[in-house]
Chains A and B, each alone.
Chain A
Amino acid sequence: MLGVSLQAQMEFSGFYQNWMAVRAAEENDIMLIRNRVRLDGNLYGETVGGYFSIDIRNDGTSGEYDFETSFREAYVDLFFSNVEFRLGKQQVVWGKADGVFINDIVCPLDMSMFLLQDFDNIRMGLPMAKANLYLGNWMLEGLWIPKFEPWQFAEAGSDWEFTLSVPPDTVWDLIPNVIHLNDEELPENSLENSEFGLKLSTFLLGADISLLYLDGYADHPSIQVVDTTITGSPIPTQIDTYLSPTYYRSPMYGLNFSRPVFTTVIRGELGYFANRRFSNVNMQTVTSDYFSGMMGLDFTGPLGSSISFQAIHRQIMDYKSGMVDDKTEQMATATISGSFLRETVIASVLGLADVNEDAGLGRLDISYAWSDALRISLGGFLLWGNEDTLFGQFDVNDNIYLKIKYSF
């Protein structure tokens, strides 16, 4: 009887998308032809629910990942009067910022195409248990993530491979120094290596406020020197340095808020990360707490457009001379979007700038809804900056794209 009831409330939806990108700097250089099919299944019930999302992807130009099928999410919900449980692979979103990730660090990111994927495709689901307790305007969320999973980066040799920044001005500059990067070391599968988090949210004096705590691993591994060999005697002719990316725990304490003030929404994220590891010019690891914060403003502009500005500040709290990273970093983002012709045309401009390094990313996107099911988007990405900066290393990847999406 229960089975019949569940089946009656099952619903399917999804989309097919073709994404073609052409490098702007060179003629006929097709960077990507990606075909993606998404199938979502929803199970509705009063006390039990469920959801799965299957992603089938085919890339026409990359080598090893020609075809990939994965479950983005697959979970079961249990609903009670004041408590809800969600068990299975799922995405948890803890942030208020758009396009930058400060406190939104529960789920790893898919950076295989840097920040060029749609933001809803960047976050990856994790197998976890989530419980939510609701009392009036208060909500307490608890997470248990049995196994840490790191960010996903592009394969070596691909357009979006991150270059490893070697500390400048080292003594080794005088002699050829060959860097060998070992495979990253992931924490062993054990209870003590699992991650857990708490989020307490409320609506107070017109503001949405959340306090966050995540006892988990840092997103990025610390790069540690595990071995060094010197060739040549008595005068060294080459140094071989073996680096090993190692993941480590770094608890996060966070505060999120958002509140309208007259016609503007003010929102922010403050994150404090304990025991972060940084490299110095001698390739040693230095530990310090770390702060990251964002303040954003959203308001309505001319012709009903939506305008957002965000300012981001990051700081190494216990800065020591010789650290490779700067003591502080400032970033800024701006987004303007608007819909026209009864929401059939949507245009948006996004800018993300690293203020310290004079580097950044820009995106222009114009989409047209041919019908209720078919949307066509035309746009382009512009990346700029010196090649040793986060954005500038992809300067040659400026591209123009066409996306066709059919929803069913």
Chain B
Amino acid sequence: MKHILGLLIMLSIIWGQMTGRGIMEKTDALPEPGDAISTVKMSLIKSKKGKTRKRMRQIRRYQVFYEEGEFRSKSLIRFLKPTDVKGTSLLMWEYRGEQDDDQWLYLPAMQKVKRIVAQEKSSEFMGSDFTYEDMGGRDIDKDSYILLGEEELYGASCFRVEAVPIGKGSSYSRREVWVSKVSWMIRKVHYYNKKSKLVKVLTIPNLHKDGNYWTVDKMVMENVKKSHKTVLEMKDVQYDSGIDEWRFTERGLKRKN
């Protein structure tokens, strides 16, 4: 009992000294795998006049992360559903520094690999409520942070931090981020447009720890202006399985499995 009390006192002292930046550094410092494979089910749900319309997409995602060298990461996204786009694949090479990403698209019906330019960050990812900016990682130095307070969320105590972009390069004027005091994982984000109006709410109700890594099981992005939301559910997640480098080449783009 003494130990628990001591731990709580110590944690409260630490939290008492936390800054917005310090909290986001904790999140940023969470261990990341060398590579990851996952299947993502994406449900696009539209609600209007009491009626709900649902569309579904499913993708398989392969990612490898580099600690040093020319590349920051490489990823391959393969569409599994719906059937008319099954087999369509997107290969992305992300570089360190300012160099633009390289991207290739494979269209199985045409059996053709097309070089494409990176999508605008504000454009929708696969028709969902997520933009390419939302899906990509954000460098911690691209925002300034203010600790707004603490709140209970999904049964866990969370810090509430405001993140304001430094300079241009974001389609949002600011974000409010809820970070768990236990896992240091983000559990909720409010996105504000350039007119400082709330436009989207991201919630992460389910996550679990798998070995060294936290895994998000489900995330929901709700567009508060358009009565539309996107639910992402992750399954079959594998870490550090040693994905072959060829997966992230034209050979991997064309491979059917």
Contact = CB atoms under 8 A, between A and B. Distances in A.
B150 interface: no
Contacts of A344: 55, 127
A323 interface: no
A373 B83 contact: yes
A51 interface: yes
Interface string B228-239: 100000000000
Nearest to B116: A265
B156 interface: no
Contact of A139 (B82, B102, B251): B251
A137 interface: yes
B253 to A, nearest CB: 12
B117 A49 contact: no
Contact of B120 (A84, A119, A265, A304): A304
Contacts of B126: 343
Given A13-B83, A343-B127, A373-B83, A93 B112 contact: yes
Interface residues of B, number: 34
A174 B251 CA distance: 61
Contacts of B86: 13
B152 interface: no
Contacts of A259: 115
B246 A134 contact: yes
Nearest to A341: B127
Interface in A206-243: 206, 208
Contacts of B251: 84, 132, 134, 139
B250 interface: yes
Nearest to B128: A342
Contacts of A373: 82-84
Contacts of B111: 91-93, 120, 123
A120 B107 CA distance: 10
Contacts of A132: 251
B133 to A, nearest CB: 14
A90 to B, nearest CB: 9
A371 B83 contact: no
Contacts of A304: 120, 123
Contacts of A333: none
Most B CB contacts (10 A, CB to CB) among A51, A260, A375 go to: A260
A264 B104 CA distance: 13
Contacts of B109: 118, 120
B94 interface: no
A405 interface: yes
Interface in B167-224: none
A297 B114 CA distance: 12
A375 B84 contact: yes
Contact of A300 (B84, B114, B120, B256): B120
Nearest to A77: B256
A344 B86 CA distance: 16
B84 A407 contact: yes
Contacts of A51: 256
Contact of A371 (B55, B115, B116, B119): B55
A45 B256 CA distance: 10
Contact of B256 (A42, A201, A208): A42
A139 B250 contact: yes
A331 to B, nearest CB: 20
B256 A372 contact: no
A130 to B, nearest CB: 12
Interface in B83-113: 83-84, 86, 100, 102, 104, 109-113
Contact of B115 (A9, A263, A265, A343): A265
A342 B44 contact: yes
A119 B114 CA distance: 15
A199 B249 CA distance: 16
B242 to A, nearest CB: 14
B135 to A, nearest CB: 15
B96 to A, nearest CB: 15
A15 B44 contact: no
Nearest to A104: B112
A199 to B, nearest CB: 12
A71 interface: no
B84 A49 contact: no
A267 B257 CA distance: 29
Contact of A49 (B82, B249, B257): B257
Nearest to B129: A342
Contacts of B246: 134
Given A44-B256, A93-B111, A201-B250, A263 B117 contact: yes
B89 to A, nearest CB: 14
Contacts of B21: none
B81 interface: yes
B222 to A, nearest CB: 14
A339 interface: yes
A269 B111 CA distance: 17
A206 B117 contact: no
B56 interface: yes
Interface of A: 9, 13-15, 42, 44-45, 49, 51, 84, 91-93, 95, 118-120, 123, 132, 134, 137, 139, 201, 206, 208, 258-260, 263-265, 267, 298-300, 304, 339, 342-344, 369, 371-373, 375, 405, 407-408
9 contacts: A13-B83, A119-B110, A139-B251, A206-B102, A260-B102, A299-B117, A304-B123, A342-B228, A369-B55
List the 6 shortest-distance A-B pairs measured between CB atoms, nearest first: A343-B127, A342-B127, A120-B109, A44-B257, A407-B83, A372-B82
